[in-house]
Each structure stands twice: as C-alpha cells, then as structure tokens.
Amino acid sequence: SEFDALWTRLVRWMALGVRTRKILTVSADTGDSEGGFYVYKQDRCGRCGAGVRAWTLAGRSVYACETCQR
C-alpha cells in the first residue's frame, strides 16, 4: 500500500513537471512545494549552506548538495 501511494504521487508529479516544464523542490515531510530552488544554478545550498556539486549528464546540467541529497 505504501508503494502504491508513492507511485500515485510520483505519477502526478511527473505529469505536473511535463505540463509546467519545471522540477519542483518539495518538503520530504509534507510533499509541499517550498517555493524555491535550493541548488539549481547555485554555488551554495539554500537549505544547509554547503557547496553545490554540478556536472553534465546526458547533455544536461545537474546540481546536487551532497549534504542534503545523498
């Protein structure tokens, strides 16, 4: 039942991403949008202040905080 609930949520989020052409940052606790980009095109993580790692994957830029996004 947990997997089914997660799958249903992911399907909705993916459809929303396709419609809006955006990837939203969400709270792990509530699943709500927190209205910002913590790492996208940033030097420091907007959540914890650690450095942001950037690399290219399949021709696209990828950004991650290695502290918040293990």
Q: Over the stretch 50-62, which tens digit does the pLDDT of each residue have?
A: 999 999 999 999 9
Check residue 22 and give left, alpha or beta (phi > 0: left; psi -120 to 50: alpha).
beta
What is the pLDDT averaged over residues 4-31?
77
For residues 44 and 57, give the distance between their C-alpha atoms in angstroms, rounded to a whole number. Answer: 20
Residue (of 49, 48, 53) closest to 64 by Cα position: 53
pLDDT band at 28 (very low <50, low <70, confident <90, very high): low
Q: Quick one: tokens of 57?
A: 């994957």
What is the pLDDT averaged over residues 12-36?
67
Higher pLDDT, 29 or 16: 16
Say what the alpha-carbon torsion angle 34, 55, 6, 20 is, to the nearest 10 degrees: 60
pTM, rounded to two decimals: 0.49
